[in-house]
Amino acid sequence: MDDRIMEYDSKMQKTIDHLNSDLMTIRAGRANPHVLDKIKVDYYGTPTPVQQVGNISIPEARMIQIQPWEKSLLKDIEKAIQVSDIGINPTNDGNVIRLVFPELTEERRKELVKDIKKKGEADKVAIRNIRRDGNDAFKKLSKSDDISEDQIKQLEDELQKLTDKYIKQVDQMVEEKSKEILTV
């Protein structure tokens, strides 16, 4: 693969990685420790991910348990979860924090699927923007370098194939996550 194409391939892959991490944080009625990925706790003045201040386990299908390494962090972790957007109230028994995930209602499932599709669309737009940037760069090459029109056309075709591959991947990821959400 041409170095000029590799650059755009890497940018598109980053878009896919971003979508993947976004989809992991969406809860599907089952306990998924990734919902905590974006939650930071004030640990001695430093915002620190919850995973780095305690042990996270899943004792039941719809429960996450957080056991902090220092009991003094219980209140901070609880507060961080309450102000986050995961929509679950933590219970604190003085030793551990438990997050119990309620069953998702049909309405909530449909909302989540809409959300997932929006994220997918946004990432497809990002991929198409990368393609546009690539095509613009190739057109500039034709003006300055001694590169033939056929070579430019070939680069554009390769970029289009790359774009199609990543768009298909986004659609597949959105479909899989939607199925997971809608499965009761």
32 or 153: which carries more pLDDT confidence? 153
Structure tokens at 155: 């680069």
Q: What's the CA gap between 81 and 86, in Å, rounded?
A: 8
Specify the higher pLDDT residue, 104 or 120: 120
Q: Is the pTM of this model over 0.75?
A: no
DSSP state letter for 82: H
pLDDT at 167: 95
DSSP 25: T
Strand extents, DSSP E, the chain:
40-43, 46-49, 54-60, 63-68, 91-92, 97-100
Q: Which two tokens stand for residue 49?
A: 């991910």
| Predicted pLDDT at 28 | 67
Domain boundaries, the chain: 3-24+105-182, 33-100
Q: Of 41, 39, 30, whose CA–CA distance to 64 is shortest?
A: 30
- Tell the CATH superfamily of the 3-24+105-182 domain: Ribosome-recycling factor (1.10.132.20)
Q: What is the mean pLDDT of residues 151-178?
A: 92
> What's the confidence (pLDDT) of residue 17?
93
The angle subtended at Cα 54 by Cα 48 and Cα 60, nearest 5°, is: 125
State phi, psi for 56 to the nearest 5 degrees: -110, 125
Among the four given CATH numbers 3.30.1360.40, 3.20.20.190, 3.10.270.10, 3.40.250.10, the one describing domain 33-100 = 3.30.1360.40
Helices 3-24 and 106-144: angle between axes, nearest 10 degrees: 170
Q: What is the pLDDT of residues 2-46, one digit of tens each?
A: 788 899 999 999 999 999 888 887 766 677 787 788 888 888 888
User: Cα–Cα distance between 22 and 48 in angstroms, integer?
Assistant: 19
Quick one: pLDDT at residue 64?
A: 87
Q: Per-residue pLDDT tens for 79-97? A: 888 888 777 788 888 888 8
User: Are 3-24+105-182 and 33-100 equal in CATH topology?
Assistant: no
According to DSSP, the residues that pair with 98 across neighbouring strands are 65, 91
Q: What is the pLDDT of residues 105-152, one digit of tens each?
A: 888 888 889 989 999 999 999 999 999 999 998 888 877 767 788 888
